[in-house]
Structure formats: structure tokens, C-alpha cells
Amino acid sequence: MRIGRPTLLLLALALLLMLAGAPVRAQLAIVTSAPGGAHAESLSTLRAKLQATLPGTRIDAIDWSELSRARLDGSRVVVSIGTLAARAVERIAPTQPVLHILLPAAAYHNLPPRPPGTGPVSAIWLDQPPQRQLRLIRLALPDWDRVAVLASADGGPGVEAIRGETEALGLTLTSARVGSDADLYPALREALTEPAVLIATPDPLIFNSYSVQNVLLAAYGHRSPVLGLSPAYVRAGALLGLYSTPAQIGTEAAGIVRDLLLGKAMPPPSPPSIFAVAINAAVARSLEIELPPAEQLTAALMAWQEDDR
């Protein structure tokens, strides 16, 4: 095959640019649900990590309320941060690969089905896998073999998933149903008849900023530790917390985006694989529970996760 001189020149130029470490001229659109707070933290980490691994990547940050199909033109990958942004993106149903982050698993599963011809979609949701939660309980509280969960009348997210994992770890699960606010305290009493580790679930009917007071006080009154799903829980009085910070999720998203930009396939939706453990030492002291340091628990969980792969 004969190559014309101009083509040869262009190829040489491309080779030169690649050798000089020139950026892949990729485009990333990030749609956010809120301008500040956790959403901004995920955004800035994602941006920084991506700039570090793929310097020069052009990133366009768009507020969900200003999103239009035109704004996504030219982007090779779309990332949404938060549920509002995920819904806005799905309304447009872009043809590009879409990664949703910083949303609960339930919100992801509730997104409208994608029409044919649209790009691949995936997510890193906020929920920790039940197996990881139960494994943490085993590691931190080896003497405790009871776990308790509260469920909304409609089942609520996460309860069945936890139930499915308890037996393998030698744990017994008790659960109680909460139909309304008024049921909360009786349900807690029922679930904690015997002291148990209460696992907080992302069910806003049961665990919201008003009812958390009831939950934590009642559990404490029953000398039952709580496993919370955010650092705020630990600060509020949960003995343990297992969560992924917005920055950790941003970091993980940056890895996926880089792979997508480099042509790799979209991974399936999953819980975050980077996470942190926190403990409330004052609560541990009061409940007379001795806990290993949080760093040691995080490392042990990480090691277990690596082995499991």
C-alpha cells in the first residue's frame, strides 16, 4: 500500500505528539445535583484524579437544571452526581456511556428504562454491600452474633439483601416492620429484645435526621450498638460506621472514566469498592465495648475484599 506524503507526515506528527505525552482529546460531561457539599467534593476529586491520570482532559460541569442534549454534544462520557442529576441525564437518554454516582442503589434501579440505541449505563451507588457490613460486624464485634434491621412496611431497601448474607457468617437476624413514625419505638423494642447490632439502612422513613435520635437512644437504651451508613451517624452516636466518602466515590469514578476514555468497556453497576470505617470511641467506652482502631478494621476489610476477588 502506498502512503502519500501528507498522510505520512500526519502519522509522524501523531507519533511525535504521542511520544511527547500529548493528551487524548477526550471530553467528559459531569452533571451535578447540587453546587456544593458532598456533590462538589465528588466533582472536585473526580476532576483532580482524572487530570492527574489523563492530563488535558476537557471536563464540562453542568448543573442538572441546565442540562440539555446540546450541552452533551461532543462529550465522550457522561457522569452524573446525585439522584437529581441521574434523573435529568436519563430524561435525555444520551447515546454516550453514562456513569451515575453518589446515589442510592434504590434510586439507580428506579431510573426509567433506557430506550434502544442509547449508550451503556452503569453506577457506583452509595450503599455498602451487606456482606461487607456483616463482615465488619464480625471483625469489630466478634462476640456479637445477633444483628437487627428495621424495615418499612413496603420492605424498604436492603433488608432482604442483609438477610441473605447473615447465615453464612453465623449471624442471626431479627427484623421488625415500621409502618409509620409511631411504630418506630415499638419496632425497635421488638427488634432489640435481646441486644443486637442494629444496622441502619438508607430508608428515610426509619432513618431520617429526626428519627435518628429515637433510633440511637433506643438502641443505646437496649445496650445495642448501631452500624451507621455515614460519618454523620458515627458522630451522632453510632458505634460503627461503614461508608464511602464523596471523595472516595469520586476517585473510583475517575478510574472508570479513564478506562472508558481509553476504550475499555463499561463495568456493571456496583457498590463502591473504596470505603472507610469509623468508630465512636466515647460510645464504645460507655457500652464497655473494646474495638480495634478504625484503620485496622478498614485494612482488614480491604484485605478480605482483595482475597475474595
Partner 1 sequence: MPIPMPPSTVAAAPARIGRPHRPHRSRPPALALVVALAAGLLPGSARAERDVLSERAFLDELPVVLSASRLAQPVSEAPSATTVIDRDMIRASGARSVDELLRWVPGFQVGQRSGFLPLATYHGLSDESPRRMLVRIDGRSSYTPYYVSGTEWHKLTVDLDDIERIEVVRGSNAAAFGSQAFLGVVNIITRNPAQSPAARLHLAHGENGVRDRSASVSRRFGPGALRLSLGRDGDAGVDGLADSWRRHRADLRFDLQLDAAQRIEVHAGGTRLDGGAGRAHSVVNPEREMTSDGEFALLRWRWQPSSDEELSIAYAHEHNRLEDRYRIDALEEALVRDFGFDPARADAALTSFGLGPGAFVLVDYDAEAVREDLELEHTFAPHADLRLVWGLGARTDRIDSSAPLMASARERYRSQRLFGNLEWRASPRWIFNIGLMIEDGSYVGTLASPRLAANYRLAEGQVMRAAVSRTARRPTAFERRSDMRFHEANSGLLLERRYQTPARLGEETITAYELGYLAELPRWQSSIDLRVFEERAESLISYARRAAADDRFDGLALEAGNNADATVRGAEVSATWRPALTTWLTLNYALLDIDGTDPAFNASAPRHSGSLLAAWTPASHWQLSLAWHHVDEMGWYAAPDQRLDSYQRADLRVARSFSLGPGRGELALVMQSIGSRTEDFRRGLGNGPRGFLSLRLEL
**Minimum separation from the CB atom of position 245 to partner 1 (A):** 10
Binding footprint of partner 1 on the chain (CB under 8 A)? 33, 37-38, 82-83, 102-104, 106-107, 110, 126, 156-157, 181-182, 185-186, 193, 202-205, 207-214, 216-218, 220-221, 229-230, 232-233, 235-237, 243, 246, 280-283, 285-286, 288
- Beta partners for residue 28, in sequence order: 59, 77
By C-beta, is 75 or 250 nearer to partner 1?
A: 250
Q: How much is the CA Rg of the chain, to the nearest whole Å?
A: 23
User: What is the number of other CB atoms lying within 10 angstroms of the CB of residue 55?
Assistant: 11
The answer to whether the CB of 135 falls within 8 A of the CB of 304 is: yes
The answer to whether the CB of 214 falls within 8 A of the CB of 188 is: yes
**Minimum separation from the CB atom of position 283 to partner 1 (A):** 5
**Minimum separation from the CB atom of position 48 to partner 1 (A):** 20
**Minimum separation from the CB atom of position 137 to partner 1 (A):** 19
By C-beta, is 57 or 133 nearer to partner 1?
A: 133
Task: Tell me the torsion sign for CA atoms 202, 205, 211, 216.
Answer: negative
By C-beta, is 95 or 193 nearer to partner 1?
A: 193
Angle at the Cα of 102 from the Cα atoms of 28 and 57, rounded to 5 degrees: 15
By C-beta, is 3 or 282 nearer to partner 1?
A: 282
By C-beta, is 261 or 297 nearer to partner 1?
A: 297
By C-beta, is 67 or 215 nearer to partner 1?
A: 215
Tell me the CA distances in angstroms from 103 to 75, 123, 227, 271, one per residue in order. Answer: 22, 8, 20, 10
C-alpha dihedral over 150, 154, 157, 158, to 10 degrees? 60
**Minimum separation from the CB atom of position 213 to partner 1 (A):** 5
- Please tell me the distance from the alpha carbon of residue 285 to that of residue 303, in angstroms, as a whole number: 27
- Please tell me the distance from the alpha carbon of residue 243 to that of residue 262, in angstroms, as a whole number: 29
**Minimum separation from the CB atom of position 264 to partner 1 (A):** 27
**Minimum separation from the CB atom of position 257 to partner 1 (A):** 20
By C-beta, is 91 or 285 nearer to partner 1?
A: 285
Q: Give 83's contacts (C-beta < 8 A, 6+ positions apart).
A: 33, 103, 104, 107
Q: How, if at all, do strands 276-279 and 240-243 pair? A: antiparallel
